[in-house]
């Protein structure tokens, strides 16, 4: 939400707020189970209040069975459903009472579904309903007749007072929408010539209702049909009296500013943004896991053992023949006294490799670590 809540609450506290879905996207576009759950809560409420009406028999049976499954999982998995419970569900959804037995049979066939699966299947069924994602506004047309204007992802649909569809206008046919007090005008392009245009006007009960319809059409078009939210939509705002006065001295002040349109991203931009955010979160979790493993490996005992291993390896290397690098040192070169090579390599050199002094004789020696290094060499090999 871009506007502050205290500017929109006109009653005394305490306030009770309800989280609702604004844009109904296809179920497969929902990336998180928590989002699907919120969508399903909204859908269930709309079904129970008959805001979403189900006319197809098969769809009604499937939806009622899924609602029964969700209700069973939500309350008590061992609850036995009676015929009256199915009858109540069918009555609330709007189907005939004769469907109760078929709903019970369908519920039995899907009784193994877990809550996540049941919610997703429910959203799939509801997404096929003709009124899914449509926001309704009451108005009068140019002839003074009462009409209902439905604003949805594809465009606007005009219904009569009995909710019988009269006309459908796709967004690509809408050239411009304007607002004047309680009136909303929509300029339409003629599909035949694409040159001539006609204007359809609606009169609403109040200026606030007219602004709501105008805002709904603009935001819905931007969210579903645009690649990005245009700056003219994102930056429009108005100020109250105090904010207008302060802006005379400081034009950049946010005091009293209210954005006309409450939308920052389109449908595709929201989807991409969430995917990037989830990817970053998964990388952060992986990095944290690796860091934890590294910290565990830095345990004091493990560090001490590693240090001892390095010390032993250093001792082994210092007692290894510098010529063949295979056997242990077992001779001393005289007269310089350097320990350089083993008994096998000593006869093949005439000078000390370290000080270049001429070797007069070679003295055999027996180091106390000889047997230890030999055993470790055998283990390494």
**pLDDT one-digit tens code per residue, 136-172:** 999 998 888 899 999 999 999 999 888 888 889 898 8
**Residue 275 in this model has a pLDDT that exceeds 70:** yes
Digit-coded pLDDT (tens) for 69-98? 888 765 554 455 556 677 777 777 765 656
- Record the tokens describing residue 94, joined without a space: 């709007």
The per-residue b/e assignment along 219-249, b for 16 or more CB within 10 angstroms, e otherwise, is: bbbbbbbbeebeeebbeeeebeeebeeebee
Residue range 248-277: average pLDDT? 82
Based on DSSP, count helices (H) and strands (E) in the chain, helices before strands.
11, 11
- Compute CA 231 distance to the chain's CA centroid, rounded to the nearest angstrom: 25
Check if the beta carbon of residue 111 is closer than 8 Å to that of residue 63.
Answer: no
E strands along 52-103, which residues? none
Give the Cα separation of 71 and 103 in Å (integer): 14
- Compute CA 358 distance to the chain's CA centroid, rounded to the nearest angstrom: 79
Q: What DSSP element (H or E) covers 362?
A: strand 361-364
Digit-coded pLDDT (tens) for 188-221? 887 666 566 788 899 999 988 998 999 999 999 9
pLDDT of residue 190: 74
- Record the tokens describing residue 48, joined without a space: 């129970």
Q: What DSSP element (H or E) covers 245?
A: helix 241-247
- Record the tokens describing residue 346, joined without a space: 């000593």
Its pTM surpasses 0.75? no
Residue with the two structure tokens 């309800």? 18
Angle at 196 between CA 220 and CA 210, to 5 degrees: 35
- Cβ-based neighbours of 306, under 8 Å, separated by 6 or more: none
Check if the beta carbon of residue 216 is closer than 8 Å to that of residue 250.
Answer: no
- Compute CA 235 distance to the chain's CA centroid, rounded to the nearest angstrom: 26
Give the Cα separation of 40 and 21 in Å (integer): 10
Check if the beta carbon of residue 357 is closer than 8 Å to that of residue 351.
Answer: yes
pLDDT of residue 379: 43
């Amino acid at each position: 939400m871009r506007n502050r809540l205290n500017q929109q609450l006109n009653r005394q506290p305490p306030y009770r707020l309800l989280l609702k879905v604004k844009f109904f996207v296809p179920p497969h576009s929902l990336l998180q189970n928590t989002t699907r759950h919120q969508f399903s809560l909204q859908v269930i409420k709309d079904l129970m209040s008959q805001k979403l009406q189900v006319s197809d028999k098969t769809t009604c049976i499937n939806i009622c069975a899924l609602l029964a499954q969700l209700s069973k999982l939500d309350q008590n998995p061992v609850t036995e459903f009676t015929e009256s419970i199915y009858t109540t569900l069918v009555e609330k959804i709007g189907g005939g009472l004769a469907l109760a037995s078929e709903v019970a049979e369908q519920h039995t066939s899907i009784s193994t579904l877990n809550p996540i699966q049941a919610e997703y299947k429910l959203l799939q069924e509801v997404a096929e309903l003709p009124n899914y994602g449509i926001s309704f506004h009451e108005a009068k047309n140019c002839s003074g007749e009462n009409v209902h204007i439905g604003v949805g992802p594809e465009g606007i649909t005009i219904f009569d007072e009995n909710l019988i569809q009269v006309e459908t206008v796709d967004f690509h046919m809408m050239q411009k929408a304007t607002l004047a007090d309680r009136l909303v005008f929509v300029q339409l392009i003629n599909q035949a010539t694409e040159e001539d245009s006609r204007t359809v006007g609606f009169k609403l009960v109040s200026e606030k209702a007219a602004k709501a319809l105008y805002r709904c059409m603009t935001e819905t078009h931007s969210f579903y049909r645009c690649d990005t939210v245009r700056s003219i939509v994102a930056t429009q705002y108005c100020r109250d009296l105090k904010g207008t006065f302060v802006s005379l001295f400081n034009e950049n002040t946010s005091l009293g500013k209210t954005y006309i349109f409450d939308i920052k991203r389109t449908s595709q931009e929201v989807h991409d943004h969430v995917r990037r955010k989830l990817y970053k979160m998964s990388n952060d979790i992986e990095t944290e896991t690796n860091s934890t493993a590294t910290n565990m490996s830095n345990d004091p005992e493990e560090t001490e053992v590693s240090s001892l291993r390095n010390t032993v390896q250093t001792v082994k290397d210092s007692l290894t023949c510098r010529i063949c690098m295979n056997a242990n040192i077992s001779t001393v070169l005289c007269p310089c006294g350097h320990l350089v090579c083993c008994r096998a390599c000593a006869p093949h050199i005439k000078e000390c490799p370290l000080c270049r002094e001429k070797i007069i004789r070679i003295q055999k020696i027996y180091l106390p670590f000889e047997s230890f290094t030999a055993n470790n060499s055998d283990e390494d090999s």
